[in-house]
């Protein structure tokens, strides 16, 4: 269709159209359009980080104090404690997962499951070597004595532009393998019209993190384009491609 328009207008010697076409080509060539695999990889990071942001908001709003559990992009997603009379009395180790992602395995023959006690202690040892502190030493003692809570925090996109939080208790966490027992499954939360202040805080955490990570990992997108994408509960590769005019027949989405 575009080729037909070009031929018709060139035949009619429409200098105005030719000028506009040149400007359009220049504007498209000025954008560093990522390849498909890069877009998908970056979106995986954005979605995973968003689940982690919601998890942090969920626990810190109920009194848990968050400490850094990661070295770079590896480690414990959520490391928290509570104090009583100035002394640490409760420890929580949590891992966040987006959509259908599952816990991984490591070690020889992949025998050590993520979030098992052995895996947590290995990660704590790395943290202590990298950033030694009394707080980490205290948390490690709780974990060694199996006096801590372990949770898997799942965030899934659902129908009707909603997200859903599910929390799983980690049982038999002293073993390399363990059972996951669902603890809570919250009602789906609309990202367009949250029903209460709690849901609003979850949506704010979700969108604030998605916006920050999209700006970092897909800088080719403008603020207007990012805000458009945030209207959807689940940003996928095809959505980004439409925004960037990669899909055949895609039309501008702005002025909405």
pTM: 0.79
Domain span including residue 161:
36-243
Structure confidence at residue 175 (pLDDT): 60
User: Would residue 28 count as lying in a domain?
Assistant: no
Structure confidence at residue 90 (pLDDT): 97
Rounded distance between C-alpha atoms, residue 242 and residue 253, angstroms: 9
For residue 193, count other CB atoms closer than 10 A to its CB.
Answer: 11
Please check the confidence at residue 143 and state whether its pLDDT lies above 90.
yes
Q: How many domains does the chain have?
A: 1
Phi, psi of 101 (to 5 degrees): -60, 145
CA 35-40-45 angle, 5° bins = 125
For 184-234, the pLDDT digits (tens) are 999 999 999 999 999 999 999 999 999 999 999 999 999 999 999 999 999
User: Would residue 20 count as lying in a domain?
Assistant: no
User: Would residue 169 count as lying in a domain?
Assistant: yes
% pLDDT > 90, the chain: 61
For 8-51, the pLDDT digits (tens) are 444 455 554 554 444 445 444 456 677 888 999 999 999 999 99
User: Would residue 106 count as lying in a domain?
Assistant: yes
User: Would residue 81 count as lying in a domain?
Assistant: yes
User: Would residue 82 count as lying in a domain?
Assistant: yes
Task: Give one word for 164, left, alpha or beta, with left for phi > 0 and alpha for psi -120 to 50.
Answer: beta
For residue 144, count other CB atoms closer than 10 A to its CB.
Answer: 13
């Amino acid at each position: 269709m575009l080729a037909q328009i070009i031929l018709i207008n060139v035949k009619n010697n429409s200098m105005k159209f030719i000028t506009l076409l040149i400007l359009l080509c220049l504007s498209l060539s000025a954008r560093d359009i990522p390849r498909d695999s890069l877009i998908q990889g970056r979106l995986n990071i954005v979605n995973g980080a968003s689940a982690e942001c919601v998890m942090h908001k969920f626990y810190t709003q109920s009194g848990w104090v968050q400490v850094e559990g990661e070295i770079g992009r590896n480690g414990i997603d959520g490391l928290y404690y509570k104090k009583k009379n100035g002394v640490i009395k409760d420890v929580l180790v949590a891992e966040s997962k987006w959509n259908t992602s599952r816990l991984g395995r490591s070690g020889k023959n992949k025998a050590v499951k993520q979030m098992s006690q052995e895996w947590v202690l290995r990660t704590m040892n790395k943290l202590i070597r990298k950033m030694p502190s009394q707080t980490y030493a205290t948390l490690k003692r709780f974990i060694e004595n199996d006096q801590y809570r372990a949770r898997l925090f799942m965030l899934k996109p659902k129908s009707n532009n909603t997200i859903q939080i599910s929390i799983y208790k980690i049982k038999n966490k002293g073993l390399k393998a363990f059972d996951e027992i669902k603890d809570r499954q919250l009602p789906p939360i609309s990202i367009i019209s949250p029903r209460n202040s709690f849901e609003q805080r979850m949506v704010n955490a979700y969108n604030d993190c998605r916006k920050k990570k999209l700006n970092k990992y897909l800088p080719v997108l403008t603020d207007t384009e990012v805000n458009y994408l945030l209207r959807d509960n689940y940003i996928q590769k095809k959505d980004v491609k439409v925004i960037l005019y990669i899909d055949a027949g895609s039309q501008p989405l702005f002025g909405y």
